[in-house]
Amino acid sequence: MKYILSLDQGTTSSRALLFNHRAQVVALEQMEFRQFYPSPGRVEHDAEEIWRTQLAVARACLRKAGVRPEELAAVGVTNQRETTVIWDRKTGRPIAPAIVWQDRRTSEQCEALVTRGLEEVVQGKTGLRIDSYFSATKIAWLLDRVPGARERAEKGELAFGTVDTWLIWNLTGGKVHATDVSNASRTLLCDIHTCRWDDELLQIFNVPAAILPEIRPSSGDFGVTAEYLFGRTVPIAGVAGDQQAATFGQACFDPGCAKNTYGTGGFLLMNIGEEAKLSNHRLITTVGWSIGENRPVYASEGSVFIAGAVVQWLRDGLQFFKSAEEIEDLAGSVPDNGGVYLVPAFVGLGAPHWDADARGLMIGLTRGTTRAHIARAALEGIAFQCAEVLDAMGRDARMPLKELRVDGGASRNNLLMQFQADLSGVPVIRPAITETTALGAAFLAGLAVGLWADQEEISSLWRVDRVFEPAMSDDERDSLMNQWERAVGRARKWNT
Ligand SMILES: Nc1ncnc2c1ncn2[C@@H]1O[C@H](COP(=O)(O)OP(=O)(O)O)[C@@H](O)[C@H]1O
Ligand SMILES: O=P(O)(O)OC[C@H](O)CO
């Protein structure tokens, strides 16, 4: 029996999962690590702690399952995206804390680039917006602030990587400095049409080429693990950013197939095929993955900043209930929202509004409003935001969405899933294995080493747990969406 060890390095925890050839989870280990908030808007990680926890859970996972390293067919890596690490190639030590994707310290630099009129050329090449979310301005910030760093980077003494690259470097004992196309496409430095680093972009963002990793296909050769880590070498054969990996793990192989992850935030990705079409509706275009030498597959992406986090807020901030699951019964105890709308714009609004100054609001309150109505409005607010992104995706792709595949903690909520199906007018499908991120990396690795023959075989491993069919009339849906849009209109630009 052969297994795939999948390393899932997320924003708040490092996880390792072992999958067998039937794509079943054999063991899972997880460790949280520290978040640093040195000042408002800044979020940092200790890259060495990321590596330590990742290695620890990988070893613990093998121990727990009683699987020997020689039984591993390959290792897959998937990761929080955009987070930026720079280290010394000789010592392997980071020159500064990692700047996390949520960190807004480079917002001003981004605004300056937009003012210089560079948005169009950057969007045309990268599919992204000029925003501090992505890696490029984080790299320049580190090079300009850490004494001597820029000079050392130009001499080739320093290495940059997103978290995948950092893990691969450490897994291979410093032998491989590489990233995959999906992670490269999140840096603002990669031309997504050619999947190469682009000189004009490097110049715009002031990043020296000598610091960059090699870009490789997501399913392919990333070297082997150093012998001292697991007792023998194992090929690293699949690498992808976590949202792209989840899309692969959901077997969204056909254009028009979309997935939504309902975690802290919501990440919607739709397969748009082998051409990097840009969005006309304020979404971003990103590389999904590439298999060996095949053309890459692209995805349209919309991020909703607050999804499951609104449930956490009701639980911890307002003490509505003790555990997140309880929201379903509370919200289900009333037949509808009673006219209440909750726009969870706690940190502004993401796609498709991109309004950093929007703030949360609750509207439609009457003397008859109860906690149950508010709980229901909170769940509905998650679905409304996702429906707006889906609508933008549908209009961009000019193809009707066939179904929405879901995963993430809040996808366990049946009321929410039914409401999402009702609003979107398409079936919402929850798979049997909801560990789709780790599974996607495992699939990419397994394909490269021949554990699975092709994507058809993978599709046959993906199984449905439950389908939520839309059951709402068009009139009712239109009227709800209309009210939601009015509520969003009032939340926008509040912080100005
Ligand atoms: N039954 C539920 N109904 C609604 N939200 C839930 C439920 N269970 C968990 N959540 C929410 O899902 C989120 C956790 O999901 P998870 O996929 O683990 O997120 P992340 O990977 O972003 O940490 C939390 O924000 C939590 O409030
Ligand atoms: O680690 P997650 O699941 O919060 O995902 C983070 C995303 O990759 C950020 O773009």
12 is in an annotated binding site: yes
Does the structure show a pLDDT above 80 at 399?
no
Which residue is listed with tokens 């009702």? 422
- Is 319 annotated in some ligand binding site? no
Q: Is the model's pLDDT at 429 over the cut of 90?
A: yes
Residue with CA at minimum distance from ligand 2 atom 3: 10
Nearest CA to ligand 1 atom 19: 263
* 340 SS3 class: coil
Q: Does residue 1 register a pLDDT over 90?
A: no
The Å distance, Cα 410 to ligand 1 centre, comes to 4
Distance between CA atoms of 336 and 3, rounded to whole angstroms? 47
Ligand 2 pocket: which residues have CB below 6 Å?
10-11, 80-82, 101, 241-243, 263
The pTM score is 0.93
User: Minimum-distance ligand to the CA of 434?
Assistant: 1
Closest to 493 (Cα-Cα) out of 386, 354, 385: 354
From the CA of 99, how far away is ligand 2's center (Å)? 13
Atom 7, ligand 1: which residue's CA is nearest?
410
Distance CA 365, CA 97 (A): 45
- Ligand 2, atom 4, lies closest to the CA of 11
Among residues 197, 200, 206, 215, the alpha carbon closest in space to that of 120 is found at 200
CB of 307 closer than 6 angstroms to any ligand 1 atom: no
For 113, phi and psi rounded to 5 degrees? Answer: -70, -35
Chain-wide mean pLDDT for the chain?
95
pLDDT over 90 at 293, yes or no: no
pLDDT tens-digit profile of 15-62? 999 999 999 999 999 999 998 989 888 889 999 999 999 999 999 999
pLDDT digits (tens, 9 = 90+) for 247-290: 999 999 999 899 999 988 899 999 999 999 999 999 999 999 99
Q: Which pLDDT value is given to residue 453?
A: 93
Domain boundaries, the chain: 3-234, 251-496
Q: pLDDT at position 103, please?
A: 86
Res. 99: pLDDT tops 80:
yes
Question: Of 151, 112, 109, which is closest to residue 134 (Cα–Cα)?
Answer: 109
Judged against a pLDDT cut of 80, whether residue 387 lies above it is answered with yes
Q: Does 365 sit in the ligand 1 pocket, CB within 6 Å?
A: no
Q: Which residue has the higher pLDDT, 305 or 384?
A: 384
* Index of the ligand 2 atom closest to the CA of residue 265: 4
Ligand nearest to the CA of 185: 2
The predicted model gives 338-346 an average pLDDT of 96
Q: Give the pLDDT score at 178.
A: 98
Domain 251-496 class, CATH top level: alpha beta
Nearest to 271 by CA among 242, 246, 247, 295: 247
- Is the ipTM of this structure higher than 0.90? yes
Q: Is the sign of the CA dihedral 409, 413, 418, 423 positive or negative?
A: negative
Q: State in Å: Cα 252 to ligand 2 middle.
A: 19
Q: Is the CB of 325 under 6 A from ligand 1?
A: yes
Residue 394 has pLDDT above 90, yes or no: no
Q: How confident is the model at residue 294 (pLDDT cuts 50, 70, 90)?
A: confident
d(CA 232, CA 3): 15
Cα 183 to ligand 2 centroid, rounded to whole Å: 12
Query: Measured in angstroms, how far is the CA atom of residue 368 from the centroid of ligand 2?
Result: 39
Contacts of 112 (CB under 8 A, 6+ apart): none
Atom of ligand 2 nearest to the CA of 243: 8
- Digit-coded pLDDT (tens) for 313-334: 999 999 999 999 999 999 999 9
The answer to whether the beta carbons of residues 55 and 61 sit under 8 Å apart is: no
Tell me: is residue 131 an annotated ligand-binding position. Answer: no
Looking at residue 121, its pLDDT comes to 96
Is 494 strand, coil or helix?
coil
CATH fold label, 3-234: Nucleotidyltransferase; domain 5 (3.30.420)
Run of H or E residues at 468: strand 464-468
Which range, of 65-79, 342-356, 409-423, averages the lowest pLDDT? 342-356
Q: How far is the CA of 313 from the centre of ligand 1 (A)?
A: 11
* Gap between the Cα atoms of 234 and 52, Å rounded: 19
Under the banding of pLDDT at 50, 70 and 90, the label for residue 162 is very high
Mean pLDDT of 176-181: 98
Q: Report whether residue 410 contacts ligand 1, using a CB cutoff of 6 Å.
A: yes
Nearest alpha-carbon partner for 347 in 392, 396, 313, 395: 313
Residue 165 dihedral angles phi and psi, to the nearest 5°? -65, -40
Taking residues 421-428, what's their average pLDDT?
95
Ligand sitting nearest the alpha carbon of 10: 2
393-409 in b/e form (b: 16+ CB < 10 A) is bbebbeeebebbbbbbb
What tokens does 188 get? 């603002």
Nearest-ligand number for the alpha carbon of 413: 1
The residue count for the chain: 496
pLDDT at 395: 86
Q: Confidence band (pLDDT; 50, 70, 90) for 415?
A: very high
233: which 2 tokens? Answer: 């070498």
The predicted structure's pLDDT at residue 63: 95
Q: Is 109 marked as binding a ligand?
A: no
3-234 shares its CATH topology with 251-496: yes
Question: Ligand 1: does its nearest atom lie under 6 Å from the Cβ of 409?
Answer: yes
Q: What percent of the chain has pLDDT over 90?
A: 87
Q: Would you say residue 400 has pLDDT above 90?
A: no
Q: Tell me the CA–centroid distance for residue 473 and ligand 2, in Å.
A: 35
Q: Which of 13, 134, 185, 243 to mutate to test the pocket of ligand 2 (most atoms within 8 A of CB)?
A: 243
**CA gap 242, 10 in Å, rounded:** 8
Residue bearing the bigger pLDDT, 302 or 12 = 302
Residue nearest ligand 1's atom 15 by CA: 409
Q: Which of 413, 415, 420, 435 most suits a substitution to test ligand 1, by most atoms within 8 Å of the C-beta?
A: 413
On whether 133 is known to bind a ligand per the annotation, the reply is yes
Mutate-to-test residue for ligand 2 from 43, 45, 78, 81, highest number of ligand atoms within 8 A of CB = 81
Our answer on whether the CB atom of 330 is closer than 6 Å to any ligand 1 atom is: no
pLDDT at 40: 81
Q: Is position 183 annotated in a ligand binding site?
A: no
What average pLDDT does this structure show over 147-165? 97
Does 11 show up as a binding residue in the annotation?
yes
CA of 328 to the centre of ligand 1 (A): 13
Mean pLDDT of 155-184: 98
